[in-house]
Amino acid sequence: MDITSYQIVAPLVSVVSLVYAWNLWYRQKKTLWEAALWTLFWASIALIAFYPDILTYLTAATGIKDQVNAILVTCIGILFFMVFYMIMRLEEMEQRQVRLIRAMALREAGLSHEDGERGKERVG
């Protein structure tokens, strides 16, 4: 078996990316879910670099006959999932920001958070 430069570079990049992802998780800058997804992605890249025949199984699993098309469709699906996940995280962060700003505004106005909630109930 002849080893190509891709079979050397791709696993090295994968290892560096995995170390980086788990370092971020260790420093609590990424969630365990994100680190696990990152691991799955880069491990797949390294595995495909060493064993390109694995793509035959991907074509059988997706029902797409051409390997390149199977890879593209799978990657597009993964990218859609990642975008969906990022949108969910952004919405969660926006909600946190609204709650924080609301609490700060109530504190500056001399009201407690509970007073503001009771005021909303009276008005609404």
| pLDDT, tens only, 61-117 | 878 888 788 778 778 877 888 888 888 889 999 999 999 999 999 999 888 666 555
pTM of the model as a whole: 0.56
Task: Please report, for the chain, the start and end positions of each structural domain, with discontinuous segments joined by +.
Answer: 5-98
* Secondary structure string (H, E, C) spanning 24-81: HHHCCCCCHHHHHHHHHHHHHHHHHHHCCCHHHHHHHHHCCCCHHHHHHHHHHHHHHH
| pLDDT, tens only, 1-50 | 688 888 888 899 999 989 999 998 999 988 898 889 889 988 988 898 88
Query: Could you give the CA distance from residue 101 to residue 94 in angstroms, rounded to a whole number?
Result: 10
